[in-house]
Amino acid sequence: MQSSKPGAGSAMSRRHFTQGLIGCATGAAVGVQAQGSYQVLNDVEFTAEPMPLKLDAHIPAGEGPFPAIILVHGGGWRNGDKRASFIQPLFPVLDRTGYAWFSIDYRLAPTWPYTAMIEDCERALQFVKKNARRFKVRPDRIALMGESAGAHLVNLIGVRNKKPNNVDSVVSFYGPMNLMDTLKLTPGGPINDGLKAVFGIDALDAAGVAKIQAGSPDTHVHRGSAPFLFIHGTDDAAVPYAQSPLGMELLKKAGVKCDLITVQGGIHGVINWEKDTRFHGYKQQMIDWLKMRLER
């Protein structure tokens, strides 16, 4: 793992998580299930407006309250859901934390262009906080976790970090920090129909660029941003690896604690990393980082 120094005397700066094997790291009706030491509450409605949206809650056995993690799926802002196959490799890792954790749905483009999805993530976060006693959660120890487009959403919430949507920390799997760079866009240049639909713009004119930049996490970094853990594969062709070092640079400049797990040779998606044990080292390293943050 490539780790920044997150602050003098911090637990992370005293630890050295290394793995040579992979280089750096190489109210509605609710269904209740029991899975090991967890109770799973499926399809809990967290908002009814402008359409019903649900989350799955995984609640540890015991009295609590527990730290919590809210997982936001990717899918290019247009696809996926809270049980998408491409995020399921994270489920057993989250169980290993012993924390409460939640996987959420959100509205998708093109039916619901940006900013609908960020608003839904914020609604889910506020719902978990308001129902902290029900879910045995510590509302002051909530981490957001997202992958790909979902990482863009948690990146944006985390760098803003404004009440009532403030969080303890963010885990970002290969998420964009600068949308213009990630999407290979230039002011006045071409934009494909898919991105027009996602962002609800017609062209990369001044208004279109302004809307994309307003949704770009790099424009919102400040001293009050949440601490971040970036996890990214060096061979990612969908969201360039450089986006995570960029996030590190911006956060460190603002005085915000941050770390980076570099998955050497990893392409886009934990579903792809799951196929090769060389890429599994991030799992324990991520758990260690979460315990350092959420159990302090």
* 180 pLDDT tier (thresholds 50, 70, 90): very high
Residue-wise burial string across 237-247, b where 16 or more C-beta atoms lie within 10 A, e elsewhere: eebbbebbbbb
Contact indicator for 239, 173 with CB cutoff of 8 Å: no
State pLDDT tens for residues 51-87: 999 999 999 999 999 999 999 999 999 999 999 999 9
Task: List domains and CATH numbers for the chain.
Answer: 11-178+216-294 (3.40.50.1820)
pLDDT at position 33 over 70: no
* 2-6, 46-50, 230-234, range with the lowest pLDDT: 2-6
* 12-21, 222-231, 275-284, range with the lowest pLDDT: 12-21
The structure tokens listed for 6 are 């997150």
Share of the chain above pLDDT 90, in %: 84
pLDDT at position 29 over 80: no
* 10-19, 29-38, 157-166, 279-288, range with the lowest pLDDT: 10-19
- Measured CA to CA, the distance from residue 229 to residue 172 in angstroms comes to 6
pLDDT for residue 14: 31
Interacting residues of 178 by C-beta distance below 8 A, sequence separation 6+: 216, 217, 218, 243, 246
SS3 44: strand
Contact indicator for 6, 259 with CB cutoff of 8 Å: yes
Contact indicator for 19, 2 with CB cutoff of 8 Å: no
pLDDT at position 234 over 60: yes
pLDDT at position 289 over 90: yes
What contacts 24+ positions apart, CB below 8 Å, involve 158-163? 158/217, 158/225, 158/226, 158/228, 159/217, 159/218, 159/220, 159/221, 159/222, 159/225, 159/226, 159/251, 160/220, 160/225, 161/224, 161/225, 161/226, 162/224
The structure tokens listed for 246 are 């960029």
pLDDT at position 12 over 80: no
pLDDT for residue 218: 98
pLDDT at position 6 over 90: no
pLDDT at position 27 over 90: no
Only one residue has tokens 């660029």, namely 209
State pLDDT tens for residues 236-249: 999 999 999 999 99
Q: How much of the chain is helix, strand and coil, in % rounded to 5?
A: 35, 20, 45
- Measured CA to CA, the distance from residue 198 to residue 201 in angstroms comes to 8
* 194 pLDDT tier (thresholds 50, 70, 90): confident
Q: What's the pTM value of the predicted model, to 2 decimals?
A: 0.88
